[in-house]
Chain A
Amino acid sequence: MSATQLSLAVLFPALLVLGVPIYAALGLTGFAVAYFTDSPMLFASQTILNGVNQYPLLAIPAFILAGNLMEQGGITRHIVGIFRHMFGHIRGSLGMVTIFACMFFAAISGSGPGTAAAIGGIMIPAMIRYGYPPAYAAAVAATGGTLGVLIPPSNPMIIYGLIANASIRDLFIAGVMPGLLIGLALAGVAYGMARYHRVETIDSEVGGEGWKRLAWLVWDGKAALALPVLVLGGIYSGIFTPVEASIMAVAYAFLVGRFAYKSLEPAKLKVAFERTHMISGALMIVVACSTLFARVITFERIPQALMTAFSTQASDAVGVLLLINLLLLIIGCFMETMSAIIILTPILVPLVKSFGIDPVHFGMILIVNVEIAFLTPPLGVNLFVAAQIAGIKIEKMFMAVLPFLLALLAMLALITLVPELSLWLPRLLR
């Protein structure tokens, strides 16, 4: 085994297991390989900087900032209010309302845990107040939050698109159908589970009944409702690139929060900015360092070796996808999802392409796996977020989240086996 292979097979996994920040693990492995192969170290640091010298990446901190501005500026509250009024009169419907609100919020935000925190922060206490089991309330919000990465815009899709050399616009369009399907399936499970728990309460906090009240809520929340139209409509109609749409979302969220709803005070603005720096700083440095790692992987011809290994195990595209799904589900339990995409995409995309699988279709499969990974212990980030809001131990959520996980697994199988679910809309709009 060469020193390079030793670095990849021993050093990198050892650093990850040790809990070293992923950027440092990727970077140290890259520097070690550069040292062992007598490559100039200057090039290694240039590769890290050039890894983020890609224009589409600008959309990620912008979408993160837009999400934080919306949360701090009260836009989330308006979205939730409308859905509560629409469905709140149905017995045991608050779980369903949570999923629908998450679907809508996902069309503005690109983050899974961000969606779970924003909607869960309002809906989990409300559900608990109305007699829903806390574990159920937390599980619904955690699951609904996963839609944040599938329904466009989506930060993982931007990263995947850049690494896989797939059109980010096509990926955003491809996410619509699976996103709606999964959202409806999860809403059905949420309603079914509420009935199973015999929750009979009606949401009485939304004010008077009837269309007049709903019309007033829609009118009052018009600024919030217009945001997905601006972001997604701008991208799909070709008026904006995804980067420009993200910037428009920031400007719009700021103007609405500051001047329309008048709730984005300087202190809240500071919180929104600092949260954005923390999240995007932690994320983008991983993207930067992964470029060095990806170069090492390509240099060592690891995708080719993997292709040979998979070819012996599976003879067709479906077989390969099933094996990859299994691999991703296991990895998702232990690795933060965005890092998993960054590390695995350069390895897996050449493999799936060699089996004739469309990278956009594979992107959707990968993103649904990311969704599931948000819910699988021990590193299900959405479980942590929701459990913290609900004030319960994470172990209590495992059983409550199981029906949602089964629904997501069924949808993953459907999306894997029916490529048209992902590819029909992008082809139609091309």
Chain B
Amino acid sequence: MRNSPLRETVLHALGWVQVWTSHFLICLTVGSLLLQVFSREVGWQVDWTEELARFSFLVMVFTTASFASGRMTHLRVSVFSDFASRWAVSKWIVEKLQLACILAFDGLFCWYATANVIEGFRYPTISPSLGFNESLLFIAPASFFAIAIVQRLLRLPDGADADGGVLPT
């Protein structure tokens, strides 16, 4: 399993989806806000730009979170766990507990985000400018947290089951 070409292909494809979706969304956010500034200066009535920027940003939060998770870089308090990881046994326990907690949250959020999508079809919340069903935004956390879960599970044979470290913000 560790060196399986299928596993490498799947991991590569998932990483590709994460990074290129994030690229597209940040360009869409920046582009629509630039259009907003420009259209205001020339007196055009473009009232959907802010909504489009907000929605693309919302989706981007979850695609980039999934991307950061795929690169094992998340904010965490590492002082105590690093200390505990000096010994092989405690390191193993800490890493497994961390992995269990990450999978538990990712799984819960993915599950309830999917439930919100289903709920959204029954009781849609329509945005004023674009006429978009805002509940569909939950597709982003549902799908990209599912990707993050699959990535973590596929990387288990490598022993890379805990986060890499503190990321400077």
Contacts and interface: CB of A to CB of B under 8 A. Distances in A.
Interface of A: 15-25, 27-28, 31, 41-42, 44-46, 48-49, 52-53, 55, 57-58, 61-62, 65, 111-114, 117, 155, 240, 243-244, 247-248, 250-251, 273-274, 276-286, 288, 334-339, 378-379, 381-382, 384-385
Contacts of B73: 278, 282
A277 B61 contact: no
A114 B168 contact: yes
B88 to A, nearest CB: 16
Contacts of A18: 80-81, 94, 97-98, 101
Interface residues of B, number: 60
A381 B166 contact: yes
B126 to A, nearest CB: 15
Interface of B: 19, 22-23, 26, 29-30, 33-34, 36-37, 50, 53-54, 57-58, 60-69, 71, 73-82, 94, 97-98, 101-102, 104-106, 108-109, 112-113, 115-116, 119, 137-138, 141, 162-163, 166-169
Contacts of B60: 61
B37 A244 contact: yes
A17 B77 contact: yes
B33 A282 contact: no
Contacts of A285: 61-62, 65, 68, 74
A21 B78 contact: no
Contacts of A251: 30, 34
Which 8 A-B residue pairs are closest in the complex by CB-CB distance?
A19-B81, A281-B64, A113-B168, A281-B68, A21-B74, A285-B65, A45-B112, A24-B105
A173 to B, nearest CB: 21
A277 B64 contact: yes
B78 A379 contact: yes
A240 B33 CA distance: 11
A53 B162 CA distance: 29
7 contacts: A24-B101, A42-B115, A49-B138, A278-B73, A282-B73, A285-B61, A334-B77
B74 A282 contact: yes
Given A42-B119, A113-B168, A284-B64, A338 B22 contact: no
